[in-house]
Structure 1
Amino acid sequence: MKKLLLLIPLLLLAFTSKYTPDLNNFLQPVKCSKVLHKTSFDICYSCKYKYPLVVSYTLKGDLVKKKISRKGLRFRPDYNLPAKCRSYSKDYSKTGYDRGHLASNASFDYDRKIQKETFLMSNIAPQKPNLNRKYWAKVEKFTRFLAVKYKQVEVVTGVCGNKGHIKNKVGIPAYWYKIIYIPELNKTVAFLTPNTNVGMSKAKLKEYKTTLEEIKRVCNF
């Protein structure tokens, strides 16, 4: 008698985070293969693309002022993921893409344990060098500035779309976005950029400022 093969569909999870209660309605359409709860941020991870779709966290102004060197930190696989879902630092070597942090090291360099978690590959997605090192660095610096000025902000960093793969079938996102909610002002500031080198070296912060509605449209939420 032939055995019946049962096809079990991949269970996708709706994503919400305790760190971003005011942005959870926006996050509802994002479906994760696995949700990872780190010390100070949550990750919505995709096994299909082997990168995080969304990372959410709260930044407190009094903490981001403190600085610990990143010396000695290295990118490491996240063993809380199944082996088939993991990416590795070597997957990015000589691909033309940086290992882009969704939760930036500089936002959590007040605590060594959290710093190490930002270097887990579950927090990393392929990002073009000029975007990572130039324009996105401005966006992250501005986020920390708002946290200091207004004492606390809720942050969602995400990627969407697909431009193919690098090594180990790690997907390449077409877009990066960041949403910053300022509770004191009941105001949201958002940025959406294509994952490209073109124009990113000299781009001013306002050039890729956007709305939640535009992110939903481009990312097809």
Structure 2
Amino acid sequence: MSPRRSFLLRRGRPLRRFAISLLFVAVGTGLWHFQARELRDSLVWMGVPVWQQVSPTSFHRVLSNDGFLVGWSDVRVNPLWVSYRLQAVEDPRSGPRPGFRRDWRALWPIDPESYFGSGYDRGHLAPNYAIAAVHGSRAQRDTFLMSNMSPQRPELNRRLWQRLEEAVMDHFVPRFGAVQVITGPVFPARFLDNVFNRVGLVEVPEAFYKIIVVPAERPLALAFLMPQGVRGDEPLDDFLVSIDEIEARTGLDFFPNLPMPAAEVLEGRVSARGWGLEEVAHRPGRFE
């Protein structure tokens, strides 16, 4: 073999190794992207929420957790929306209550102790019990990440909000077999009006919404909007609103892939027909 050919062969080996490595990286990245997209699609219905108009306060990142997605805002230091699916299980139960944990994906350090002495609870958006019952113990641990928390008054968090979470898991899920839930905070229309109303770094919302959808050929939806200043013993149906109202208050489009004619029907009306809401509207919470 000539010296020139030997040199070319030696030089070609690293190039082949690099090409093979590049191929593995490309294939691995493609598989990861496909799996991430598949996971995201399994936790939302008709697309991830998007903004109707882009502004500095609309910037957020989607954090993927076991059993739920979080639309996280580093500006408001809050989840702007949380999306998850629940389905009927034979023996719904949750494990021991985990401890709250800091989420290192958040830009700002929000520790479990950040709320102490503030007068606000660390309010779960993806609920501990329902996520644990449907998605398991690992998902339950993720619900205790501080990126799943938002400041809630005790009367809201421990009473009215808890009653609504209980109605979703113990009443709506068995009734329909499966539901899609999107939930999150509502802030004042002008960012500057609330910019200093914070628990540590976390902006305090003025209200919270929860949208429950039965995915079907003719989907059903219920939407609730609950302000911070509730007593806690009010009937759940006092807080029924349209999805359009929540979109107007938040600036979000919750189901961007839903065809316009279907969206106008689903999002524009307020109707509890078929939900059996009257059976649970006045029911006290599990801990009352």
Task: State the TM-score, normalizing by the size of structure 1.
Answer: 0.82
Q: Is the 8 A contact 1:59 1:152 kept in 2?
A: yes
| RMSD after superposition | 1.9
Task: Decide which of 165, 177, 183 is 1:140's aligned counterpart.
Answer: 165
Amino acid at match of 1:176: F
Secondary structure at 1:21 match in 2: coil
Aligned equivalent of 1:182: 214
Counterparts of 1:133-172 in structure 2, within 5 Å, are 133-144=158-169, 145-162=171-188, 163=194, 164-172=196-204
Confirm whether residue 216 of structure 1 aligns to residue 239 of structure 2. Answer: no
What displacement does 1:139 show? 1.0
Distance 1:132 1:186 in 2: 29
Query: How far apart are residue 59 of structure 1 and its match?
Result: 0.4
Structure 1 match to 2:50: 28
> Structure 1, residues 26-61: CA drift from partner, whole Å, max 9, x if none?
x22174422101111110001112111100011011
- The worse-fitting range, judged by mean Cα deviation, of 113-122 and 144-153 is 144-153
Task: Determine if contact 1:32/1:53 at 8 Å carries over to the other structure.
Answer: no
Q: Which 5+ residue runs of structure 1 have no aligned equivalent?
A: 1-16
Scaled by the length of structure 2, what TM-score is found?
Answer: 0.64
Q: Distance in 1 between matches of 2:60 and 2:247?
A: 20
Q: CA deviation at 1:201?
A: 2.0
The amino acid that maps onto 1:66 is P
In the alignment of these two chains, the number of paired residues is 197
Tell me the amino acid that sits aligned with residue 28 of structure 1: V
Q: Does 1:101 align with 2:101?
A: no
Match of 2:89 in 1: 62
SS in 2 for 1:154: strand
Percent identity of the aligned residues? 29
Which segments of structure 1 move beyond 4 Å, counting only runs of 4 or more? none
C-alpha separation in 1, matches of 2:162 and 2:82: 17
Determine if the alignment matches structure 1 residue 90 to structure 2 residue 113: yes
1:195 equivalent in structure 2: 228
For the Cα contact (< 8 Å) 2:151–2:199, is it kept in 1?
Answer: no
* CA distance in structure 2 between the partners assigned to 1:32 and 1:57 by the alignment: 21
Higher helix share: 2
> Distance in 2 between the 1:180 and 1:92 partners?
28
Which residue identity lines up with residue 45 of structure 2 in the other structure?
A: P
The answer for the alignment partner of 1:7 in structure 2 is: none
Q: Residues of 1 paired with 2:71 and 2:248: CA distance? A: 20
Contact 1:32 1:44 in 2 (8 A): no
Partner of 1:52: 79
Unaligned runs of 5+ in 2: 1-39, 53-57, 189-193, 253-288
